[in-house]
């Protein structure tokens, strides 16, 4: 089973913990922090840490913050990282099918737990279509 890395800031901590609880029997999830919702932290620190681990291990990542935006913006600064801010089943599926996203970002203040779980399940089981999309992804 491949490692999947997860990290959050303080705003995403509770959803991150719920994801770990729900998916840890099916996935080898490595929690990179933060360890509390009560202490404010800087989300870029956790996004950087996760991206480095995803690239080193050639695997997937899950980032959670308040809106998902800051984590996504930070992660997408890395070459070979394609972080998708997911908020619906459809956009999650397309992020994998067409864009070969390797990191899902979730906004804990904007998405409920049930939808976050659905999006993560779709993200993990959907394969990249390649074909006409491969040349586009190579241009990123």
Mind telling me the catalytic residues?
98
Query: Can you tell me the distance from the alpha carbon of 46 to that of 71, in angstroms, rounded to the nearest whole number?
Result: 8
Beta strands 28-31; 103-107: pairing state? unpaired
Query: Can you tell me the distance from the alpha carbon of 134 to that of 132, in angstroms, rounded to the nearest whole number?
Result: 6
Q: Please, are residues 4 and 29 in contact by the beta-carbon 8 Å criterion?
A: yes
End-to-end CA distance of the chain: 28
Return the H-helix or E-strand segment holding 23.
helix 13-23
Residue whose C-alpha is closest to residue 95's, from 132, 135, 134, 128: 128
């Amino acid at each position: 089973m491949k490692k999947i890395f997860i990290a959050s800031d303080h705003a995403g901590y509770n959803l991150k913990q719920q994801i770990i609880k729900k998916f840890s029997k099916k996935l080898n999830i490595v929690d990179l922090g933060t360890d509390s919702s009560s202490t404010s932290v800087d989300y870029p620190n956790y996004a950087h840490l996760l991206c480095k681990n995803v690239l080193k291990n050639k695997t997937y990542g899950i980032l959670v913050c308040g809106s998902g935006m800051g984590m996504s913006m930070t992660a997408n600064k890395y070459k070979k990282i394609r972080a998708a801010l997911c908020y619906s089943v459809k956009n999650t599926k397309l992020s994998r099918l067409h864009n070969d996203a390797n990191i899902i970002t979730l906004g804990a203040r904007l998405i409920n737990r049930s939808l976050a779980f659905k999006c993560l399940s779709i993200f993990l089981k959907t394969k990249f279509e390649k074909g006409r999309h491969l040349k586009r992804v190579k241009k990123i």
